[in-house]
């Protein structure tokens, strides 16, 4: 089925096809005067105990573990530079001071600074959401609810930091990077679709929904899985795969699971025992499997196999390049908190104290936590790691896919591996069209004001342009 592509996308695809047609370098071709770098990987189990509340509804306690939740990452140390860390966590979201805690703990373990630590959540809904201030607000108000168990959260953070420290013993030299891309099929559809009368709807959710939503075209998506691998000669060390879609098939079951991306990652791990497989969700706040999802548990395996197949094709089609550049850059992004009356500090505090609506109290606590983040002017770090043929770009929260396509169109000469769900405090970060058309997803799970798109696009122009110098 034909896909509608974001402006600038055709130029990107054309450039990508040229890159992928190049003769791959031999894995033993040594970098010519490039920077020496070392790398090691780490993994920790971050599965919550049974009875812990999960994201879906924030009311359902976990009753079983279908698959454990993992934190997987790598430490990359360029010669003469502090370490760079990336960690992907199989949680729904990591917000505000919880996000600071993860980055600070991993920075200390790696001997680097907070801004050089990139952390993202996978965003399955049958998994925890972490926000320490929100949890303390619930406890202070004696709310019968839970955001995150504070002791469990600290154990998880320390477990990941300990795994990072222990991984140093397995450090290897990095000589090459491998970059590839492959189209995925039947995994992504934009929440926005046009009804038969031509009016827009944003109601295509992960679980599917109406026949109208399923039969409408995919809309604006990024069809490509992107792969970045680090190599020591002929030996792969780690493979990072990214794709923009909500990682949910069947959810709200109270059964802990990283859903189909976790299963796809496991399928790929069997085939690359030497290299740690890491999967990251792209900028997919408005992208779901809804067009293709029939809601059956069996569909989880179908989606996992589709994703694993595209991940494998991207990896197998890689172009190998000597590692000659490692550049890091980060810029601060300040997003305005939502100013509507129901999102004011006074209104949120009143909702928090309303004992008749526990779910509303949890949402109010999350909103207050974000506003407290904004009040002293603490910005969100937006980092990029430039590796020559590719860049890793980390964006905050449930940001819409149009920003990912915009970033890629800025640098058609590189593969931009865009990762979403960094600092998740803002909730949805839409494009202006969504506000104008009345996107119903913005009624509650969005704590930022309209008008942020020009600011974000300006930052991306500066970040990606300067990082490539």
| Residue 2 falls inside a structural domain | no
Report the pLDDT averaged over residues 158-167. 98
Report in angstroms the alpha-carbon separations of 386 from 82, 332, 404, 414, 469.
15, 17, 16, 9, 10
Which of 112-116, 203-207, 316-320, 387-391 is least confident? 203-207
Distance of CA 304 to the CA centre of its chain: 17
Task: Give this prediction's pTM.
Answer: 0.92
Cβ contact 54:60 at 8 Å: yes
Whether 3 is covered by a domain: the verdict is no
**Total number of domains constituting the chain:** 1
Dihedral sign (CA 443, 445, 451, 457): negative
Q: Are residues 121 and 396 in contact, defined by beta-carbon separation less than 8 angstroms?
A: no
Contact between residue 403 and residue 287 where contact means Cβ atoms under 8 Å apart: no
The answer to whether residue 239 scores a pLDDT higher than 50 is: yes
Tens digits of per-residue pLDDT, 58-67?
668 999 999 9
Is 349 a domain residue? yes
**How many CA atoms lie within 13 Å of 415's alpha carbon, on the beta-carbon side?**
30
Contact 131, 147 (CB under 8 A): yes
The mean pLDDT of 265-271, rounded to a whole number, is: 98
Nearest to 84 by CA among 94, 93, 75: 75
Q: What are the beta bridge partners of residue 465?
A: none
pLDDT of residue 17: 33
Nearest to 190 by CA among 57, 426, 6: 6
Handedness of CA 405, 411, 412, 418 (dihedral sign): negative
Q: Could you tell me if 220 and 405 are in contact, meaning their C-beta atoms sit under 8 angstroms apart?
A: yes
The least confident of 6-15, 286-295, 374-383, 389-398 is: 6-15
Q: Which structure tokens are listed for 345?
A: 């500090």
CA distance 209 to 197: 18
| Cβ contacts of 394 within 8 Å, gap of 6 or more | 118, 120, 382, 383, 384, 419, 422
- 247 neighbors 123 (Cβ within 8 angstroms): yes
Query: d(Cα 381, Cα 403) in Å, to the nearest integer?
Result: 16
Helix ranges (DSSP H) in 317-410? 345-352, 358-374, 401-410
Would you say residue 458 lies in a domain? yes
Sorting pLDDT into bands at 50, 70 and 90, what band is 307? very high
Written as one string, the DSSP assignment of 430-464 is --HHHHHTT-GGGGTSB-B-S--HHHHHHHHHHHH
363 in any annotated domain: yes
243 within 8 A of 187, measured Cβ to Cβ: yes
pLDDT of residue 4: 34
Closest CA to 116 of 326, 285, 426, 280: 326
Residue 1 placed within a domain: no
pLDDT band at residue 6 under the 50/70/90 scheme: very low
Alpha carbon distance 47, 292 (integer Å) = 29
State the residue for tokens 């998880």.
156
In-domain check, residue 114 = yes
Whole-number Å distance between alpha carbons of 423 and 26: 38
pLDDT at 7 over 50: no
Query: Which pLDDT belongs to residue 145?
Result: 82
Res 128: pLDDT: 96
Please determine, for residue 81, whether its predicted confidence score (pLDDT) is greater than 50. Answer: yes
Residue 254's pLDDT is: 92
The pair of structure tokens assigned to 370 is 């974000």
Q: What range does the domain containing 57 cover?
A: 9-464
């Amino acid at each position: 089925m034909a896909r509608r592509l974001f402006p600038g996308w055709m130029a990107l695809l054309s450039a990508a096809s040229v890159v992928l047609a190049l003769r791959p370098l031999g894995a033993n071709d040594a970098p010519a005067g490039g920077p020496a770098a070392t790398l090691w990987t780490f993994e920790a189990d971050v599965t919550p105990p049974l009875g812990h509340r999960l994201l879906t509804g924030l009311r359902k306690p976990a009753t079983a573990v279908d698959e454990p939740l993992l934190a997987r990452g790598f430490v990359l140390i360029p010669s003469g530079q502090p370490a760079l860390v990336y960690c992907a966590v199989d949680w729904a979201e990591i917000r505000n001071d919880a996000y600071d805690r993860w980055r600070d703990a991993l920075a200390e373990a790696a001997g680097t600074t907070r801004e050089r630590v990139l952390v993202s959540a996978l965003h399955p809904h049958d998994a925890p959401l972490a926000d320490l201030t929100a949890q303390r607000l619930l406890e202070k108000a004696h709310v019968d609810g839970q955001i995150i168990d504070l002791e469990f959260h600290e154990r998880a953070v320390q477990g990941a930091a300990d795994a990072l420290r222990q991984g140093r013993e397995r450090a290897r030299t990095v000589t090459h990077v491998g970059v590839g891309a492959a189209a995925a099929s039947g995994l992504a559809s934009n929440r926005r679709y046009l009804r038969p009368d031509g009016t827009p709807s944003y109601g295509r959710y992960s679980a599917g929904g109406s026949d109208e939503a399923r039969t409408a075209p995919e809309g604006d998506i990024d069809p490509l899985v992107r792969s970045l691998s680090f190599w020591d000669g002929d030996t792969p060390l780690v493979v990072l795969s990214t794709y923009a879609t909500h990682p949910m098939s069947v959810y709200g079951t109270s059964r802990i699971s990283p859903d189909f991306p976790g299963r796809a990652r496991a399928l790929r791990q069997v085939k690359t025992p030497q290299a740690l497989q890491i999967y990251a969700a792209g900028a997919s706040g408005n992208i779901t499997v809804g067009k293709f999802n029939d809601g059956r548990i069996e569909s989880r395996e179908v989606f996992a196999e589709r994703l694993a197949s595209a991940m494998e094709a991207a990896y197998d089609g890689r172009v190998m390049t000597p590692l000659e550049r490692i550049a890091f850059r980060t810029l601060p992004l300040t997003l305005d908190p939502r100013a509507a009356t129901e999102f004011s500090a006074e209104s949120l505090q009143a909702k928090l104290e309303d004992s008749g609506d526990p779910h509303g109290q949890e949402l109010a606590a999350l909103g207050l936590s974000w506003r407290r983040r904004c009040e002293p002017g603490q910005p969100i770090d937006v980092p990029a790691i430039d590796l020559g043929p590719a860049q890793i770009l980390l964006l905050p929260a449930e940001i819409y896919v149009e920003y990912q396509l915009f970033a890629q169109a800025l640098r058609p000469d590189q593969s931009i591996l865009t990762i979403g769900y960094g600092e998740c405090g803002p909730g949805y970060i839409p494009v202006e069209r969504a506000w104008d058309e009345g996107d119903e997803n913005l009624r509650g799970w969005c704590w930022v004001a309209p008008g942020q798109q020009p600011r974000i696009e300006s930052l991306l122009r500066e970040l990606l342009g300067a990082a490539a110098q």
